[in-house]
């Protein structure tokens, strides 16, 4: 499985920790930046993560800003992205099982490193419950993409 990770200036320490955690799990991860603490605009990084996923450069992406909110909103503007902003493992797991979230977002000013690792693991270890009502519902999300992002 290939992943991309990206975030704004607030994400640096947490992004590095999550990157190391993913690599320790044996996953291939590309860090899209930022690599600086200089103030930067979270939509830039949400867009980069989202575009990398929908282009197929990666199977999924992780996006981090101060709260996770701005970067998830931004990533969700990319057609085909289903970004979930979460702050605990249960929602991370369900975001995969029910929503097939292909981008996971969280806030570096909200979650600590150990909790973020648990969030990432819950999302990665879960499987989308394909074939039933959740496939139908994710299909309805895709319809919205087609309607409003053509």
Q: How many residues does the chain have?
A: 150
The residues, ordered by sequence, that sit 6+ positions from 37 with a Cβ below 8 Å of its Cβ are 9, 12
Q: Which residues ranging from 52 to 111 are in contact with ligand RB5 (CB under 6 A)?
A: 65-67, 69-70
CB-nearest residue to ligand RB5: 70
The rounded distance, in Å, linking the Cα atoms of 51 and 101 is 14
**Catalytic residue of the set 9, 65, 85, 136:** 65
Min separation Cβ 73 and ligand RB5, Å: 8
Quote the strand ranges of the chain, DSSP E: 2-7, 28-31, 60-65, 83-85, 103-107
The rounded distance, in Å, linking the Cα atoms of 11 and 80 is 24
Q: Is 21 a catalytic residue?
A: no
Other CB atoms within 10 Å distance of the CB of residue 144: 10
Min separation Cβ 4 and ligand RB5, Å: 18
Min separation Cβ 70 and ligand RB5, Å: 2
Mask for 7-46, x = binds ligand RB5 (CB under 6 A): -x-x-------------------------------x----
Q: Is 98 a catalytic residue?
A: yes
- With tokens 């704004």, the residue in question is 8
Min separation Cβ 77 and ligand RB5, Å: 14
Joined tokens for residue 72: 């998830």
User: What is the widest separation between alpha-carbon atoms in the chain?
Assistant: 46
Q: Which is nearer to ligand RB5, 85 or 124 (CB)?
A: 85
**Catalytic residue of the set 9, 85, 98, 136:** 98
Q: Applying CB under 6 A, which residues contact ligand RB5?
A: 8, 10, 42, 65-67, 69-70
Q: Which residues are catalytic?
A: 65, 98
């Amino acid at each position: 499985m290939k992943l991309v990770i990206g975030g704004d200036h607030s994400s640096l320490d947490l992004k590095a920790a999550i990157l190391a955690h993913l690599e320790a799990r044996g996953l291939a991860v590309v860090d899209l930046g930022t690599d600086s603490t200089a103030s930067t605009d979270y939509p830039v990084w949400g867009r980069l993560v989202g575009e990398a996923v929908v282009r197929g450069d990666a199977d999924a992406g992780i996006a981090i800003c101060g709260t996770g909110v701005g970067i998830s909103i931004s990533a969700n503007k990319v057609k085909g992205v289903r970004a979930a902003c979460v702050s605990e493992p249960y929602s991370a797991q369900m975001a995969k099982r029910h929503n097939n979230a292909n981008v996971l977002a969280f806030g570096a000013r909200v979650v600590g490193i150990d909790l973020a690792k648990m969030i990432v693991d819950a999302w990665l270890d879960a499987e989308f419950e394909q074939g039933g009502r959740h496939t139908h519902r994710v299909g309805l999300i895709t319809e919205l993409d087609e309607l409003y992002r053509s």
